[in-house]
Amino acid sequence: MLTITLKPGKEKSLLRRHPWIFPASVARVDGKPEEKHKPGATALVQSASGQFLARAAWSPKSQIRARVWSFNENEAVDHALIKRRVKQALAYRAATVRDSDAVRLIFGEADGFPGLVVDWYGGRQGWLVCQFQSAGVEAWKVPIVQALIAETGCPNVYERSDAPVREREGLPLVTGVLAGAEPGDATPVSENGVRYTVDIKTGHKTGFYIDQRDNRALVMAHAAGREVLNCFCYTGGFSLAALKGGAAAVLSIDSSGEALAIARRNMALNGFDEARAEWRDADVFKTLRALREQGSSFDLIVLDPPKFAASPEHVERAARAYKDINLLGFQLLRAGGLLFTYSCSGAIGADLFQKIVAGAASDARVDARILRRLSAGADHPMTTSFPEGEYLKGLLLCKA
């Protein structure tokens, strides 16, 4: 069997149950030549002294050279493990997700499937949308798809393995039907009483920002009678939640015309009064400045930008961009107004994000109270051993 022997001392992170093995930790790889070159082959990982550490998926081309399937010496990596873990993931969602049929069913490492994302839209008549981001889950694609169909009862599975991280694993970008029917361009879902449509084939990521469900509910709960500004609105997630919550008016900004077209379609689907909503196809940075020059102000502002820091080298530039929009946000907020502000950059931790927002408040000469610290919903579980899984962080602030 393929065996990875680590350098002395490099077993520590595995003993803490962190699931990634980097090239610098590897002393030796033993096995047949064809195994050594086979992405996704299951390897036994041992310490320098020969102690069992884990079974892991080998990825010869990746900077994450192996990802742990199991720390349990008695647990084989086989079809039964896959079935068991899909069952567990499903049971956990059934217990924690309410009032939505847009659910993240598998969230990578946190669900024991390193590098796999599965989102489920629209229940049994809907679609399972998969993204295989690592050699390990790629190698087990067929049994994973079979287990997903068997356990959910949903026969339609679509692949969106077009995330650039695939290239770092030496995997090509692929999309297409894995089982059942091809999705149309408007798969209906319903979340907290709001209807949305998801473009599974061409939307961002797997089509919808499921991670913001709880935060959309929070905006809904605070929106009544307020004038709302939603920046980076995509297909209208927060905007429709605000309208459902009784917002007096919602101005939504995004630079993607396609996303705005879906947002408008989603609004019509809910029968909301069009007069309450304005959709602006524009750059947020420029528009916020223009609104400030015009003396505009709002009671509730949402800032949910794209990932400004794609990797640690980009943190400084990203920090300036986050500070810029938050500064403008504070300036456009009325006294007593609420700011919902987010970062989905994994390279920017919650502490740093709070410091950036604090810097923006102080430059805007604003006193702000932190009413809540925010994160992704329960279907994006955080685990104690894998802090990398915690990428979405946010703050709900009230301007004094």
Task: Please say which residue, 114 or 245, places its beta carbon nearer to ligand SAH.
Answer: 245
* 3-state DSSP assignment of residue 110: helix
- DSSP structure string for 196-262: EEE-TTTSSTTSS-GGGHHHHHHHHHH-TT-EEEEES-TTTHHHHHHHHTT-SEEEEEES-HHHHHH
In whole angstroms, the minimum distance from the beta carbon of 77 to ligand SAH comes to 35
d(CA 294, CA 289): 9
Cα–Cα distance, 194 to 214 (Å, whole number)? 13
- Please identify which of the residues 130, 154, 233, 344 carries the catalytic annotation: 344
Residue 132 contacts ligand SAH per CB under 6 A: no
| Choice between 47 and 239, CB closer to ligand SAH | 239
Q: 243 vs 80, 194, 227, 276, 300, CA distance in Å? A: 46, 9, 10, 8, 12
Closest separation in Å from C-beta 86 to ligand SAH: 27
DSSP string for residues in 119-175: EEESGGGSEEEEEE-SHHHHHTHHHHHHHHHHHH----EEEEE--THHHHTT---EE
Q: Which is nearer to ligand SAH, 56 or 194 (CB)?
A: 194
The DSSP code sequence of 248-263 is SEEEEEES-HHHHHHH
Among 119, 227, 304, 379, binds ligand SAH (CB under 6 A): 304
Would you count residue 39 as binding ligand SAH (CB under 6 A)?
Answer: no
Smallest separation, CB 226 to ligand SAH (Å): 18
CA 317 to chain centre: 22
What angle, 0 to 180 degrees and rounded to 10, lies between the N-to-C axes of helices 257-270 and 237-244? Answer: 20
* 13 binds ligand SAH, rule: CB under 6 A: no
| C-beta of 184 vs 306, nearer to ligand SAH | 306
From residue 177 to residue 206, the character string flagging contacts with ligand SAH as x (rule: CB under 6 A) and all else as - is ------------------------------
The region of 40-48, 110-118, 283-291, 312-320 touching ligand SAH under the rule CB under 6 A is 283-291
Q: Which residue of this chain has its Cβ atom nearest to ligand SAH in the complex?
A: 237
In the set 2, 41, 45, 259, which binds ligand SAH (CB under 6 A)? 259
Measured in degrees and rounded to the nearest 5, phi and psi for residue 35 equal -70, -40
Applying CB under 6 A, the site for ligand SAH has a residue count of: 19
Position of tokens 């609420």? 338
The verdict on 23 binding ligand SAH (CB under 6 A) reads no
Q: In terms of CB distance, is 68 or 233 closer to ligand SAH?
A: 233
Q: Interface residues for ligand SAH in 197-256 (CB under 6 A)?
A: 209, 212, 232-235, 237-238, 253-256
130 carries an active-site annotation: no
- Our CB check for ligand SAH shows the closer of 18 and 264 to be 264
For ligand SAH, give the closer residue by CB, 105 or 253.
253
d(CA 67, CA 111): 13
In the complex, what is the shortest distance from the CB of residue 297 to ligand SAH, in angstroms, rounded to a whole number? 20
- What distance in Å separates the CA atoms of residue 121 and residue 103, rounded to the nearest whole number? 7
396 lies in the binding site for ligand SAH (CB under 6 A): no
Q: Is 308 in the site for ligand SAH (CB under 6 A)?
A: no
Active site residues: 344
Q: Which residues bind ligand SAH (CB under 6 A)?
A: 209, 212, 232-235, 237-238, 253-256, 259, 283-285, 304-306
